[in-house]
Structure 1
Amino acid sequence: MGPLFWVNTAYSYAVVLSAASSVWRLRRSTRGLLRRQATTMLVAVLAPLVCNLAVVLPGIALAVDVTPLAFAVTGVLFAYAVLQQDLLRLVPVARSLVVETVTDAVFVVDFRERLVDVNPAGHALLRPDAGPRDAVVGRPFGDLVEAVVADSVRAGEGETVVRLAGGNHLDVRTRWIRDDRGTPLGRVVVARDVTERLQAQRALERANERLRDQVATIERLQADLAEEAARDPLTGLRNRRRFVEDLTARLRTTVETGRPLSLVLLDVDHFKAINDAHGHAVGDDVLVEVARALGAHARPEDVVRYGGEEFVVLLPHLDTDAARARAEDLRAACAGVRVGVESLRITISAGVATAPEHGTTPDELLLSADRALYEAKGGGRDRVALAD
């Protein structure tokens, strides 16, 4: 074991340890199966090294060279890695290869805003006069791309969508590159053409807007239909169903607030005789004109309802005396009704009831007004009577 032997030994150990350190770094940077592969290779590499050290180092120097036996262990371990851990079939792909093949544009810009690296997709986004890919590295990034892209990158880390001169839209995402101490080294920029996605999004928004308009139209038509269904087709006044709903709600308010609610039940005098003498067409005209007169003289808050030859007018916030005076006004307005038959004179009888004195439910209040109406008719018609 002369000097050259130790030179050769040191060189051989340096080569083996260099390879082992590479495998060690690989083991530290991976997880799962790749980490287990690295562990197997590291043990396989170090096994003959340790045995050889036991043979050559002074003070240990085994009498028998066990290094060949250790290589047998290495062979077994590598066989296990190949056959059981897919050593030669499952290997990590180089990141640079991934960057080269992705469809997103990738730029690496240093802290002086010079282009350090660019993939093929990124080179396609550079200005037409930028030159070949190997000629753009080292040049100012702002001279190679449109101003909107350069400005978004200078703004720092973040995400933004910019519009190019050609009309396309780019989603530009910028991230800082830092060393182990956190010092900024540059920026990596990833850009993606999102023109088609934005167009599809705008088309979807327009479709949703049209759908909302259609839904609003349908709701409006449904409301109109419901309102039409709640009105008498002849007079246009509310029918009994809608009237009872209004009356119930207003009676509830009367109970809660204590304010009065009056109801006037009106009937066309001798209406059957009008139909018999002049025909149902004239009778319909009479009802239409009476409805028009009541609607013209009703307050905005009053509710007018029609059923048969009877009319009902709700008078919110009017007590019995005010309701009676109001009923006299309505009777006088109906007395002025004129239809095509000159000899026809229209008179109206009316009964007045007020809540809560004469009832607190729709049926009670209508019954009280109906009794008052019959009292008015029994007293000679063309008059107003109060509920008892």
Structure 2
Amino acid sequence: MSRTQARLLADRLTDRLAETGGEALVDRPYPWLIRRGLVQRQACADHRCDDGIRLDTGGECENCGNVLHIRRARRAKIAAHVDRELPGLAAGERRRVLEERLREQAAIEAEDLVWRREKARAEQARRDAARAAAQERAERERQAAAAADAMRQELPCEDCGQDRVAGLCEACDHRRQTETLIGEAGLIASAWSSNLADPGTVAAVTAEARTAISGGIATAWQEFLQITDVAALEANPEAAEDAYAFAAFQTAQQVVQEYQDNALAMLGRTEEDEAEARWAYKAEQGRPWFQHNTTGGDAIAAAAKAAKTARERTAQYLLATRLEQLRQQTAARTKTAAAAPWTDRPIHSMASAVRGSCRARP
């Protein structure tokens, strides 16, 4: 207990003893302390108030002052109404009428307070019920999600049929992602190196990209076999296929990034890109802080940086626009062609040769 709290407690007990008439009149100290001496008596709605004293600071309760001011204002208002309605009353009669109306107003306010408290309790009960319902609903949803996830974990792989892999094993997932990356690489290569309106040219470039990536995957796999235990892979064919799928996925990721960097570099040399760079260069040189010396070192450096930024931004925009056009064309052609079975796709065919490549190693 702090010094302030100890002082406030001592002051409270002193005041309560004075109200009682002195400590000599307290014949049963414990009941007096519990029922009167230590009981907080709030003079207002502030929970920190005790007989008009703030328990946290020890100063006068400002809220009590406000309450007193409101009560005085209410009394003055009612007195004015009485004087207007019943002029000429004697002092005693006026006091009686005024006290009666004050009691009526106090009863109205007490009834209003009871109504507001009941309303607050009903609102709190409604919020508690809504919170409980929300928690119950969240628990049901959590249980349903857990049950659905458990059921999903029991599903076999859609591609290879491996049991209990949540619908897709890791190796087949890597194969699918690799196939997607190969298609993306073909689109990126076509975006800058072919006529987008010619499906044949786009198909040829896409096929070249697929062949190049497939060759890169084969090279990466042979390099992997050089540094791994081939006998262990032969003893565990599933692990060999997983390793091959992951190696293919990593290789495809690297190639796609290289294709994207190359495409941005080539698109950065187009007429649109150069025009945007020239405009940005001149605009930067024309800024107020460079107008006095447009050919100075600072102006040239800032203009060159602005031109580079504009060129990169334009190249990215051109690549995104052309890729979107190619994707729409590819989607339109896909609607009219049946998808090849997964086992007939190049990545799966290459993966099926993993065992043979392992056995072919000396």
Structure 1 or 2: larger helix share? 2
Q: Give the TM-score normalised by the residue count of structure 1.
A: 0.27
Structure 1 or 2: larger strand share? 1
Q: Which has the higher contact order (CA 8 A, sep 6+)?
A: 2
Q: Give the TM-score normalised by the residue count of structure 2.
A: 0.29
